[in-house]
Chains A and B, each alone.
Chain A
Amino acid sequence: MHPAPSIILFTALSGLGFGLMVWLGLTPGDKSAWVMGTFCALALALSSAGLVSSTFHLGHPERALKALTQWRSSWLSREGIVAILTLGCFTLYAGFWVLLDQRIPVLGWLSAALALLTVYCTAMIYTQMKSVPRWNMGLTPVLFLGYALTGGAWLAGEVTWALWLTAALGLLQVAVWAIGDGRFADTGSSTGTATGLSPMGDVRLLEAPHSGPNYLLREMVHVIGRKHSQKLRVIGMICLALLPLALGLVFEVKHMLAGVIVLMHLAGLLVTRWLFFAEAEHVVGLYYGKR
């Protein structure tokens, strides 16, 4: 699939923002109004920046509100609605804390639950695609939730949780890559089943329907992005898990180091999110003799 920067940024940033909301909602500690205000502003900025950047890839962003109507069937619609509810609930929670110095834990718990649900909805948009076998498995939402909770824990300064979650996320990501690599073959789809000609013999494309590229090839058969996937996997794993773990276990994590680790985590997240799209193969490629 085409790794559109707007979608990579959206899923990465909004995941971090909603992840931070979970921690601020569940374990806010005894933060002063100023400190809490800064954390909440960061969470709201990340999640809403993500939502705004997701509208950049729309053909008609001015009609975006219509996307809130089809929650009965569409995960994208559900995501939009739950995201707005989350932002509203969390703003209320933060507002009471920061402006009125009133702490309402119930609102925090509700915000945390809604934030997790938003990330789950985001993940389900990809998980539901039977046409993209690498995404179409139960581990995809687990992975998205893992990223949100881990990044959120680093941002919230929950160092102990962050270290454990980073280790778990690293293992989970490796497992998802390993299982994902075999997903396309598991479906049994081939150019033979795509054309229905497999009972006659081996099928290969002799002539493509068009000499140049088209929307389908640009959007769904993106070969360049995954050319260096093995190298990118190693780079991603170093930034995402190995360096943060090494630094976090050897040194005492204070503000400066936490900032460095958060930036490393973000770099690793962007690399692995790029791979999430670039490595995903759509079955339509079979009609073109490509993957």
Chain B
Amino acid sequence: MASNVLVIRTRIQILTGIRWRPTEPQILFVLLFTVYFVAACYLTLVANVIYGDAWSRVEIAYRILSSRDPHLAAIGFIWGPLPEIPLLPLVALKALWPQLVTSSLAGGIVSSLCMAGGAVQLRGFVADAGLSRPFVWMLTAAFALNPVILMYGANGMSEAMLLLFLLSATRSLARWLRDDSLNSLILTGVFLALAYLTRYESLGAAASVTAAVALVSYVRVRRAGGQLWAVANDVLLVAAPWAFAFVVWAAASWIITGQPFEQLTSGYGNSAQVGSIYVNRTRVPTGYTAWSWTLVRLMLSQLLLLAPALPLVPLYKVGRLSRSAISLAVAAVACIGGAVAFIVAAQVAGELAHPLRYLIGVVPLAVALAGACIAANQSRQHQEGRRAAAGLSVACALTLFVALPTSAFAMLDATTDPWSFTSNRSIVSSAPDNALGGHLNWSNERKIAADLDAMHLPKGAVLVDDFLGFPIVVSSGDPTQFVITSDRDFETVVADPKGLGVRYILVPVPDVLGSLDAINRQYPGFYASGGGFASLVNEYPATGVNDTTFRLFRIN
């Protein structure tokens, strides 16, 4: 195996003429990035399947730079800021490659980089646990080739970035547990802080990691007869970065918007969306109530389809649990398990919706636990039953691959992935014209943008809330014609559109999400009648899966 890698390295050197000796992780990264990037291009450019949340983040980056009122605070405080940051330089290159923005490809590039990085870290912590090379490659493949991982590496959603930071934190935490290396403890803290700024559910990971560090540090200090101050010190080192990120982000939000926790209080935030869904239940057929057995059954089925090997892994362990094995298992459960547990708890309590992607963490979790099991088995190499142990390890690794078809099934099934199954099906469906999507996706928003561009309107002539109107803004060639939510004078303009130069207003149909639209909230019934001061110009009915029906009004 080593000679194969050497051959690859030498060939790359000859081909490129560069005296660069790539390491295994580097080769893996480039390979996976290529795979995910090609998938991203296929998704967005060929199949025209663009995930709304991903495109929304691209629009956020776009509006920071190119909107009518470009300013950094346009990043918004409802969701974490970190996914938008790497989008900024990519979005700035729109002139060179428009599809970066108009097809959300910038998001795809970032998620490809993140998921490839995450896979490298997974390979890292599996290798750190002492697994032999064949097992390392098998486990990495079980993760990287999983259809869910492939999809979310390609589609630009923030799951990829979250996994990157959680897997990095797992790796450094495992190192600290094994070697007591102060440097690894600091890195764990930093990665948790970055994970927090990506997705808030990582608070669960942060809490469980801090608790684990406190416990392990306490045990160590007591055994060595040291001072308890050392435990407090360790806890500070791992918790201070994410606590700092939490406080600073809440403070920035409070200073700029007046609300420290927009996720919970904003009209667009999670609480509002969840409340809306559970009240209106028209857009997505949920039919689940909090704390109900049907909800728990749904989540179990999602979990088991994503990671069928998870409950089976302990059965393959025959060896003594070595230090490396325990370190990896504890780190994975604390980091990834903590985030997943937070999600599950929130879902069962009815505070969070339940798309399949929220549970994506169980895929690497199963791989990590399998790695721990194999590491434990390998410690039996010098005792009897070596062959049995090796056989069981291979069986364990192969079981992980069962997740590939089951995850694919989960993504295509209406029950397990109600939010995205239609988009996913449209990729594999052979009928391009069917109502499930394909080229029909986002077509009405793009048409709206084209129609407005043709009118050559002046700056600030069209009022639209980019909560749902973002596809229009990014598809337009002239984003400054829009007055959007992030503009600092948005509220003033909504209160008095005619007096402030607006000529047209775009409103979405007031359904589950559309009812959260700022104009629908300010002028109830506007969608039906124009509020008495505007007249209907055109209606653009939704055609694709994720589209929203819009109506264009002209102010009288």
Q: Is A bound to B?
A: no
Residues of A within 8 A of B (CB): none
Residues of B within 8 A of A (CB): none
